[in-house]
Amino acid sequence: MSLQALIESSPYFSITNEGELTLLTMNAPWGQAVISTQGAQLLSYIPADQTDLLWLSPNAKFAKGKAIRGGIPICWPWFGAHDGEEKYPAHGYARTSEWQCTQIQVFEHQAKINWTLASNPAYPPYASNMELEMTLGEDILLQVRFTHTGEIPERYGIALHSYFPVTSINQTSISGLNGKMYFDKTNSSIQKQIGDVSFSGEVDRVYKDVKGECVLNTNNQRIQISSLGFQNAIVWNPGEQLGSSMGDIGPDHWDSFACVENGNIQEHSPMLIKGEQFVGTIRIARR
């Protein structure tokens, strides 16, 4: 069924366009959402009587095949630069591919939107279809699911690259990671987190063996990020020097967001044999 046919039978939904991309929008009593069909990327979610749970860069580009800066991009089937193929795009192909919306269900206090992405023959080792179930109500609930169908086992990287709004990055902290070991990508060192995470300059860290929840504390509000099935938390802000040089962020916006991602990357990337499935879930809520 086409996206147009799905929204015709689903109240609160409509289709718009931004640049070269198609957007699915929801305007419901419980919240407002904007989703790009490229990447099945949730760009904005405003629960009723609240502000946006997510950050979208004012300088974001809406072009086919280009990553959108903000919301929740899905990095899959690898994270970062590919280990073996220099020509493969950073963070996989899921975030820059067109997904198919397969179902929209509207309930009394929430909606469920299902998406699928077929395996891409240009990347033959990754023989797997990706499925995403997006539940939007009082909170954001995302579940990803994929099954390896290839004869040869393959290692998959997965991360839900969530961007959150902050008043000032230097006045922002993250609790829930105290005592965790992390890989600091800015200097390629292994460190141990002591106390809450704070931001001073560029922060790019992969926390290991993380289960449960983290809390982003900013401007007298708390955003709770809970996960199931993921073992890494990735924390990122580019800092002033790098952020100011990035065309889709810029000098006026680098300090207005923090990324707190959930994923399975590096040594936690799952190695799947034929028929084996991975499921990961995140919940984002203002508490």
Distance CA 157, CA 78 (A): 4
Q: How far apart are CA 32 and CA 85, in angstroms?
A: 40
Residue 220: predicted pLDDT:
78
Confidence (pLDDT) at 287:
83
* Strand order across the 197-198 sheet: 100-106, 111-117, 128-136, 140-148, 277-286, 221-228, 212-218, 173-175, 197-198
User: Is 0.75 surpassed by the pTM of this model?
Assistant: yes
The pLDDT tens digits along the chain (287 residues) read 899 999 998 899 999 999 999 999 999 999 999 999 999 999 999 999 999 999 999 999 999 999 999 999 999 999 999 988 989 999 999 999 999 999 999 999 999 999 999 999 999 999 999 999 999 999 999 999 999 999 999 999 999 999 999 999 999 999 999 999 999 999 999 999 999 999 999 999 999 999 889 999 998 789 999 999 999 999 999 999 999 999 999 999 999 999 999 999 999 999 999 999 999 999 999 98
Other beta carbons less than 10 A from residue 203's beta carbon: 20
Element (H, E) at 3: helix 3-8
Cα distance between residue 73 and residue 63, in whole Å: 14
Distances (CA, A) of 89 to 111, 196, 251: 32, 33, 26
Beta carbons within 10 angstroms of residue 96's beta carbon: 19
State the pLDDT at residue 211: 85
Q: Hey, what's the torsion of the CAs at 63, 65, 70, 71, to 10 degrees?
A: 110
Task: Say how far apart CA 104 and CA 157 lie, in whole Å.
Answer: 28
Output helix, strand, coil percentages for the chain, rounded to the nearest 5. Answer: 10, 45, 45
**Lookup result for tokens 């207005």:** 256
All domains in the chain, ordered by first residue: 3-286 (2.70.98.10)
For residues 52 and 61, is the Cβ–Cβ distance under 8 A? Answer: no
| Residue 249 three-state SS | coil
